[in-house]
Copies of this chain bind each other. A is one copy, B any other.
Amino acid sequence: MVPAGEPTEKTIQTLTGILAKGDTIIDGGNSKWKDDIRRARELAPKGIHYVDAGTSGGVWGLQNGYCLMVGGDKEPVQRLAPIFTTLGPPDGWMHVGAAGAGHYVKMIHNGIEYAMMQGYAEGFELMSESEYGLDLPAIAKLWMQGSVVRSWLLVLTADALAADPKLSALKPWVEDSGEGRWTVDDAVEKAVPAPTITASLFARFRSRRENSFADRLLAAMRNQFGGHAVRR
């Protein structure tokens, strides 16, 4: 995960003490967009510019270039354009809006990413239980050839399945970083339904709960009203 939160905050405070008027800080990590807005406002009186660059592409960005969503004032963003042009693939960066906009767009990008990943995960899990004995690595590869669901995430899925068709080396434990959570917060704040993004986040939460109280309470209730057997 790209650094965010406390380490970023401290670095910016340190830099603020060193930088001079006209200097620019680029936050190329995964900060919360509301933090960007606050920081830009705090730095403005000192004449220090703050630019937030949401970065996508994963570890592959090193070869492919990073897709960059940049937020901040026009002047520093334009001045720094050569940096973004160098880091990104052709047409691979954009000034998307004022301070925080870069990380806001990146946050939504990650929310969508969660839903796409979960969609594939559900589909492949269903296929993994099919009585047809399906060849999942081959199907993932097949779908890359002209199907509607072809995507870069599917390429990665195909690679992962090719390396370990039953994923037997892995534990069903899925981390989440801040962006998925913030996307749900944004949906709640805007009163916009976001059922798949939220379901994806909850699936990750669920993957990490080893003795769910909710599930034990359900078992207890069933036992209470129906005398249904419970596992102890």
Contact = CB atoms under 8 A, between A and B. Distances in A.
B118 A105 contact: no
A205 B192 contact: yes
Interface stretch (A9-17, A43-51, A73-81, A93-101): A93-101
B105 A127 contact: yes
A19 interface: no
- Interface size class, chain A: 35 or more
Interface in A98-125: 98, 100-101, 104-105, 108-125
Contacts of A188: 181, 184-185, 201
Contacts of A189: 181
Given A120-B112, A174-B218, A156 B224 contact: yes
Contacts of A174: 215, 218-219, 222
Interface string A167-205: 101111111100001011111111111111111111111
B192 A125 contact: yes
Interface of A: 1, 56-61, 64-67, 69, 71, 88-94, 96-98, 100-101, 104-105, 108-130, 132-135, 138-139, 141-143, 145-154, 156-157, 159-161, 164, 167, 169-176, 181, 183-209, 211-228, 230-232
A151 B185 contact: no
Nearest to A132: B97
B125 A213 contact: yes
B115 A172 contact: no
A212 B207 contact: yes
A222 to B, nearest CB: 7
Nearest to A135: B96
A172 B207 contact: no
Given A97-B133, A222-B175, A225-B153, A185 B185 contact: yes
